[in-house]
Amino acid sequence: MSMNEQNQSTTNKLILIAQIISVALIWVFVAGISVWIVNLLLLSLELHDVPGASVGISIVAIPVFLSLAGVLTYVFVGLQKENSRLSKTSEKT
């Protein structure tokens, strides 16, 4: 294995780690936001407050964040499948 191939391998591993971290962090962020919004809804009900703003925010925010996290995860999985397919093709030649 040449020095250039080692550098390429190290770079690929670092990129994979960065991608995994970004996917994990977006799901932690989405879970945190969702729990926070649900907590606001429950708190407004407990305090006999009108939960209108909390319900409005949750109806919009939670699906938007879930969609964004889903798209990021979908792209990550697609890139990994493509990378795997390309590496198998290059091994055959």
Residue range(s) defining the domain that contains residue 44: 22-92
Is the pLDDT confidence value at 71 over 90?
yes
pLDDT tens-digit readout, 74-83 = 999 988 888 7
Q: What is the mean pLDDT of the chain?
A: 85
Residue 2 lies in a domain: no
Is the pLDDT confidence value at 1 over 60?
no
Residue 17 lies in a domain: no
Lookup result for tokens 């879930």: 66
The mean per-residue pLDDT over the stretch 36-59 comes to 84
Residue 57 lies in a domain: yes
The domain tally of the chain equals 1
